[in-house]
Structure 1
Amino acid sequence: MPNLMPKLSSESCRKARLSRDPRFDGKFFIGVLTTGIFCRPICPAVAPKEKNVRYFDSAVSASIAGLRPCLRCRPDSAPQSSAWKGTQTTIERALSLIESGILSGSDAIGIEALVDKLGITSRYLRKLFTDNFGTSPKKYAQFRDLMFAKQLLHQTHLSITQVAFASGFNSVRRFNESFKETLKLTPSDLRKQSKSSVSQCGAPALEGIALSLFLAYRPPFNWAKQMAFYKVRMVESMEWSKGEETYSRSFQIYQSKGYFEATHHKDRNGFKVNIHLSSSDDLASLKDIINQIRSVLDLDADMVQIEAVVSSVSSVSFVKDSIITGLRLPGTWSVFEAGCRAVLGQQVSIIQATQLLNKLVNAYGETINVSGKCITLFPTPQVIANASLDELKMPGARKAALTALGQYVSENPDGNTEDWLSIKGIGPWTVAYAKMRGLSDPNILLCSDLVVKKRVLKLYENQTLEVEPKINRENTQVALLDVDYQVLTQQLAKQVSPWGSYLTFQLWNLE
């Protein structure tokens, strides 16, 4: 049984598992040959002898090797690993589509349709998956579905039938067979073993469905900064907080509607997330909802790697202590919402933009009752396209840009965000902001932002003074006037890639 660890050495894995370092959670898995199970690096069980373990870069690789997931540390709950990102664009796109459920459920497409989307042959796709995971794309997708089902069985009171359909299986019989074949026990057996630990929040609500999950991340995580960012920009009835640890908001994805409450547990490196759905039919979208919550909270970022890159850029100098550890990307629910926020924020303060946003949502957002709570959903593109926007006290040109954006997105729901530039009143800053917060694009250095520009030039000035201390401040200031800011930021973007968005947030938070 070979080690399948392309990024970390066996010695690094050994040190990480013996120290139970949570920064490596989800980045590799430990196969214990004597017990036939595989675990996360943070597993609380007694550490096995090194001669009895093998290391794997993914849970699917461990499963293919004949190992079953540990019932104590639950590999299904580990943060997702992005170790493969940046190495092969094609497999990154394929994994993104598969993990979104494109090969699962009643609307699943076949492999031929998938390769058409990717622009490659089915033979090449199979080779990519065999080389990287030791299995086929279809089996990889099935394994991901089963691990998601395992998480629901462990952590919720959803029935086995509900879990099967929420996980992308069209047949309970097929679900049971696949579960037993791959994970070495039946769903009912697993449910019995984990019954005592299931949260009561997972019980069916009087209206719709309510369930509770624990979503892990790899530290560090600066939740105080992220929560502060949310609070300044909150929309009444659409977003709310409870103390300093809980952030909540409403959502709509496809036809599914509801809200989630995410409570930070620093000691456990994760969030307890209560999800409330308006109908049991919404369970078909549960996987997408959870993935989007992870994206909104930026739970899958490897901050150790990101901060190493951000702090090492040479075009401008960060003082060592000025890097804010654990600063992540606070996302919005959709790229359309992020686009609307950006349009409303053009040439006004954050407070003014938030006031306009509240008026927009309260005037045009749908209000529904879910689990006894009255919530407001962000307006749909179709509604904004036909809105008068009389409630908003802002220039007519920006109103026109907002309605045009709604029109474009309603007609092109899967359109490229870059195509928004064809809309009058929407420029590069608006599109970049929407991609950064709405698509969780990690590589957006928002160079045209005035705050970013001011702070980049300030860092450049500090670096110039340090490198050439004999130049007096007056001469240095004159030299700064001659700096080609576009060239400077192009160099900076290249050096910080693919983590430009994280540098943007560092600059926004720089004192």
Structure 2
Amino acid sequence: MSNVLPKLSNESCRKARLSRDPRFDGKFFIGVLTTGIFCRPICPAVAPKEENVRYFDSAVSASSAGLRPCLRCRPDSAPNSSAWKGTRTTLERALTLIEGGVLSGNDGIDIEALSDRLGISSRYLRQIFSDNFGTSPKKYAQFRDLMFAKQLLHQTNLSVTQIAFAAGFNSVRRFNESFKQTLKLTPTALRKTTQKNAKGEKGTDKMAQITDGVMLSLFFAYRPPLNWTRQMAFYRLRMVEKMEWELDGEGYGRCFQFGEAKGYFEVSHQADKNGFKVNIYLASSDHLASLKNITMQIRRLLDLDADMDKIETVLASTAIMTKDMIQGLRLPGTWSVFEAGCRAVLGQQVSIIQATALLNTLVKAYGENVTISGKKVVLFPTPEAIAAASLDELKMPGARKAALKALGLFVSENPGGAVDEWLSIKGIGPWTLAYAKMRGLSDPDILLCSDLVVKKKVLSLYQQGVEPVAHDKQANTLSRVDYSELTDRLTEQASPWGSYLTFQLWNLA
């Protein structure tokens, strides 16, 4: 039986699974034909013989082949892997929408509507999913929902009914039928197995009903390396009081709003397990329907699904990063692209300390004060609040205040508008737009060439003899460098991971 893994060779997969190398976790899955299950490369079970193994590039491909997920290594908990997408833009856009829940829940659209949004025919959409996953877009979406539900069954004490709706199903009956049909086990049976395996474990408080909401404790895995010290330092320098906080010098917490859902999360790094313990506090159990999107946002914000080995290989191939590479440097995101845009506007032509002071003033004056699980927090101001604000509290030029208000008005009137349209706003330029996309959308390919720190570092490395682009040796003087040409070449070399090069340069400065 042939494998369906387009990038890694059979030999690479064999070595990775036998060594249980965590750097490959989520990059491929192991189908064991004799048992009918599929596993992660880090599965603790006795390694099967090679002749009984088939490799898959995704969990959904393994499921489509008739295999069920392993109950020991729990493929639902593996880091996501998007490296295989390559430049297939249409498929990537479709996956982004589907994984964001566009086909799930009461507000889910049908395949025809999704095809219209993508600008393709429904037949072509079905074809690209069949070619890449061996299944339809609808079944792909359902599988993702079921794997999220499986994770909640394993890691929380939420009721089956709560999990069904949190995973995007409109009825418990439909959830039970789909779960059994796809995963070869009922939710109740899986829950009993999980509880049996967890017997004797101490301190396992996976979910608790609290006086004014719900608290869930989950575990988010990642593929190493991850430099949490640097990432935490970045957050610490830019923290907003009562909106973000530090936990014992190691953990990070912040509050959020997603649609009607309000809450906060706290993460603690567990380096020995290549993951984070994540506690999520929701103001109401009614907000569980947003849980899947909230967990996806937290993973994006922490950049837990990045393939750092691949990214750093590309960066190391650029002449400018031949030395001083900082391993595991990820993109520290913000909760929303609007928040990132506001941070960028406030940070124009001022230091980080000044920008953070302005941001604290803005949130204190116009953010909503709420109490969740006994903790008093301040939510980031809504676009409507910024649009209507006087901003008199902010000590900065009137033109920048006007740009901030105009941004709030634009986003409030165009909540689903493309971020590139912000360039029509006076006071919003390419740097502001790029920063917002890099931190608010986690766009991986933003090299902030116009950033002063980046420019100084690039030119400094060039002056030291590092040659990011091929050029005439006789013109090797700083005064004769064409910075625009130099960074154009550098952007091409670092693509599609320019954002990671930006953070490397910021940290080297």
Give the TM bin, normalised by the shorter chain. Answer: over 0.9
Name the TM-score, length of structure 2 as normaliser.
0.96
Query: Quick check: 2:303–2:333 contact (8 Å CA) kept in 1?
Result: yes
Q: Where in structure 2 are there 5+ consecutive unaligned residues? A: none
Q: Which residue of structure 2 aligns with residue 23 of structure 1? A: 23
Aligned partner letter, 1:492: L
Query: Quick check: 2:83–2:307 contact (8 Å CA) kept in 1?
Result: no
Query: Quick check: 1:318–1:459 contact (8 Å CA) kept in 2?
Result: no
CA distance in 1, matches of 2:31, 2:469: 51
Q: Which residue of structure 2 aligns with residue 262 of structure 1? A: 267
Q: Which residue of structure 1 aligns with residue 358 of structure 2? A: 356
Q: Which residue of structure 2 aligns with residue 114 of structure 1? A: 114
Partner SS state of residue 509, structure 1: helix
Matches for 1:464-475 after TM superposition, within 5 Å:
none
Q: Which residue of structure 2 aligns with residue 505 of structure 1? A: 503
Partner SS state of residue 262, structure 2: strand
**Structure 1 residue 140 corresponds to structure 2 residue 143:** no
Matches for 1:83-482 after TM superposition, within 5 Å:
83-195=83-195, 197=198, 199-314=204-319, 317-320=320-323, 322-463=324-465, 476=476, 479-482=477-480
Bigger Cα displacement from structure 2, 360-369 vs 78-87: 78-87
| Alpha-carbon distance, 1:92 to partner | 0.6
Aligned Cα RMSD in Å?
A: 1.7
| Alpha-carbon distance, 1:467 to partner | 11
CA distance in 1, matches of 2:428, 2:139: 43
Q: Where in structure 1 are there 5+ consecutive unaligned residues? A: none
Q: Which residue of structure 2 aligns with residue 46 of structure 1? A: 46
Aligned partner letter, 2:97: L
Partner SS state of residue 502, structure 1: helix
Taking only the aligned residue pairs, the percentage that are identical comes to 73
| Alpha-carbon distance, 1:90 to partner | 0.7
Q: Which residue of structure 1 aligns with residue 483 of structure 2? A: 485
CA distance in 2, matches of 1:262, 1:157: 19
Q: Deviations over 1:195-234 (max 9, x none)?
A: 2539414122221111111011000000000000000000
Query: Quick check: 2:469–2:489 contact (8 Å CA) kept in 1?
Result: no
Structure-2 change in CA distance of 1:484 and 1:465 (3 Å): closer
Partner SS state of residue 85, structure 2: coil
Aligned partner letter, 2:440: G
| Alpha-carbon distance, 1:466 to partner | 12
Q: Deviations over 1:211-262 (max 9, x none)?
A: 1110110000000000000000000000001123210000011111100001
Query: Quick check: 2:443–2:499 contact (8 Å CA) kept in 1?
Result: yes
| Alpha-carbon distance, 1:463 to partner | 3.0
| Alpha-carbon distance, 1:418 to partner | 1.3
CA distance in 2, matches of 1:36, 1:287: 28
Partner SS state of residue 464, structure 2: helix
Query: Quick check: 1:224–1:244 contact (8 Å CA) kept in 2?
Result: no
CA distance in 2, matches of 1:131, 1:416: 30
Partner SS state of residue 204, structure 1: strand
| Alpha-carbon distance, 1:444 to partner | 0.3
Runs of 4+ in 1 over 6 A off after TM superposition: 465-468
| Alpha-carbon distance, 1:372 to partner | 1.2
Aligned partner letter, 2:504: Q
| Alpha-carbon distance, 1:464 to partner | 5.7
Aligned partner letter, 2:27: K
CA distance in 2, matches of 1:246, 1:205: 22
Query: Quick check: 1:25–1:79 contact (8 Å CA) kept in 2?
Result: yes
CA distance in 2, matches of 1:55, 1:206: 47
